[in-house]
């Protein structure tokens, strides 16, 4: 099992926060300060210059930035060595169903786990939500293709077929 971490800025409603729910199940560790997040973790960041790929399996943990991307100051994470963007995927969460690139944190964790070959852990994370496994159904084809890629450049090439 790959450890899952989240930095939360508390901008979302804690009653419907997917990360808070995973935390209650003991599946994710939440850090209230970005400086507390382990520096060797892989940070899922849509502004990163490199796409996540199976080559990132060597990462000791995965961290999501559980916050509003409209207000995030990306300068706080620019110095991190392992920042990766997820490729094209479609949200299945109730708030953004069917919208590309609008994944919530749980979908981001699951997508990253699936792509690096941790498919069972990806399913386990999603299973805590009544809509969760629908994410894997909606994105079955691209996730399988991404999981079969060699590296980031191949991910970008595969992604271009879906854009």
Domain residue limits at 77: 4-160
The tokens describing 129, both together, are: 């939500």
Half-sphere exposure of 105 (CA within 13 A, CB side): 28
pLDDT band for position 33 (cuts 50, 70, 90): confident
Question: Given a cut of 70, is residue 14 above it in pLDDT?
Answer: no
Which pLDDT score is estimated for 89? 97
Work out how many domains the chain is built from and give that number. 1
Total-model pTM? 0.91
Tell me the pLDDT of the chain averaged across its residues. 88
pLDDT band for position 28 (cuts 50, 70, 90): very high
Which pLDDT score is estimated for 145? 98
Which pLDDT score is estimated for 75? 61
pLDDT band for position 77 (cuts 50, 70, 90): low
Higher pLDDT, 49 or 72: 49
Contacting residues for 80 by C-beta, under 8 A, at least 6 apart: 39, 43, 45
What average pLDDT score do residues 95-109 get? 88
Lowest mean pLDDT among 64-68, 83-87, 103-107, 139-143: 64-68
How far apart CA 90 and CA 23 sit, in angstroms, is 24
Q: Are residues 27 and 128 in contact, defined by beta-carbon separation less than 8 angstroms?
A: yes
pLDDT band for position 39 (cuts 50, 70, 90): confident
pLDDT band for position 74 (cuts 50, 70, 90): low
């Amino acid at each position: 099992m790959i450890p899952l971490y989240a930095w939360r800025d508390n901008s979302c409603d804690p009653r419907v926060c997917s990360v808070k729910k995973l935390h209650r199940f003991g599946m994710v560790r939440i850090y209230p300060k970005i400086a507390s997040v382990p520096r060797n973790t892989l940070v899922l960041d849509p502004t990163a210059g490199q796409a996540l790929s199976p080559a990132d399996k060597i990462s000791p943990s995965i961290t999501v930035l559980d916050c509003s991307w409209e207000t995030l100051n990306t300068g706080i994470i620019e110095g991190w060595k392992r920042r990766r963007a997820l490729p094209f995927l479609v949200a299945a969460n109730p708030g953004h169903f069917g919208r590309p690139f609008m994944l919530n944190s749980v979908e981001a964790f699951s997508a990253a786990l699936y792509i690096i070959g941790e498919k069972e852990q990806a399913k386990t994370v999603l299973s805590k939500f009544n809509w969760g496994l629908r994410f894997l159904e909606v994105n079955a084809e691209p996730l399988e293709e991404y999981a079969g890629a060699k590296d980031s450049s191949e991910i970008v090439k595969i992604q271009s077929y879906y854009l």
